[in-house]
Amino acid sequence: MTKVTMIVNGKAVSREVPDETLLSDFLREKLRLTGTHVGCDTSQCGACVVHVNGRAVKSCSTLAVALEGAEVTTIEGLSNGELHPMQTAFNEHHGLQCGFCTPGMIMTSVDMVARYKSEGRKLTAEAIRTELEGNICRCTGYHNIVRAVEDAAGKM
């Protein structure tokens, strides 16, 4: 067991957990932040993507105890009263059906838009598709997800 302290969605949290605890389990079971979904648990589907120190990572492939002092943002931490522009865009463009992949899609997309903006690169529809390669959706067929990301990118 190791005591780990991290900042999750802006608040410091400490828990004593077994060393093998995955960040996905830490978030869902210790903190009850069940917005982070676990689809495959083998780093293929991207449903579990969260931000660690500002970068998108798969929480099913990260050990919680390795994150002492880290800043973690989950889907629950995106909105501050009002929905984040990416959440609104997914809603408006029907970028989700069952919603299982959505938290990971949104966390990946927010990271993507922020990265392209900071590097001054143009985020084309083609680039969005490439960037979403690690996020699998079994419902939408992706078109509306790409539209949502394009729309939100203009508003972020």
Partner 1 sequence: MYPLKYHKAASVDDAVAILTKGDSAKLLAGGQTLLATMKQHLAAPGDLVDIRAIAGMSGIKAEGDTLVIGAATTHAEVAGNSDVAKLCPMLASLAAGIGDPAVRHAGTIGGSIANNDPAADYPAGLLAVAATIVTSKRKIPADEFFDGLFTTALEEDEVITSIRVTRPKRAAYAKFRQPASLFALVGVCVADGAGGVRVAVTGAGDDGVFRHDGLEAALAAKWSADAVKGVKVASDGLLSDIHGSAEYRANLIRVMAGRAVAAS
Ligand X SMILES: Cc1cc2nc3c(=O)[nH]c(=O)nc-3n(C[C@H](O)[C@H](O)[C@H](O)COP(=O)(O)OP(=O)(O)OC[C@H]3O[C@@H](n4cnc5c(N)ncnc54)[C@H](O)[C@@H]3O)c2cc1C
Which residues would be at the binding site for ligand FES (CB under 6 A)?
38-41, 43-48, 58, 60, 96-102, 137-140
C-beta closer to ligand X: residue 34 or 43 = 43
**Site for partner 1 contains 42 (CB under 8 A):** yes
Q: Minimal distance in Å, beta carbon 5 to ligand FES?
A: 23
Which residue in 86, 52, 94 sits closest to 71, CA to CA? 52
Q: Are 84 and 78 in contact (CB under 8 A)?
A: yes
C-beta closer to ligand FES: residue 40 or 120 = 40
Site string (54-93) toward partner 1, x via CB under 8 A: -xxxx--xxx-xx-x-------------------------
Q: Minimal distance in Å, beta carbon 41 to ligand FES?
A: 5
Q: Are 113 and 57 in contact (CB under 8 A)?
A: no
C-beta closer to ligand FES: residue 13 or 139 = 139
Among 38, 49, 106, 148, binds partner 1 (CB under 8 A): 49
**29: its two tokens:** 């079971």
C-alpha–C-alpha distance, residues 58 and 62, integer Å: 7
Residues found near ligand X in the complex (CB under 6 A): 43-44, 134
Count other C-beta atoms under 10 Å from residue 35's C-beta: 17
- According to DSSP, the residues that pair with 7 across neighbouring strands are 12, 71
155: CB partners within 8 A, 6+ apart: 85, 89
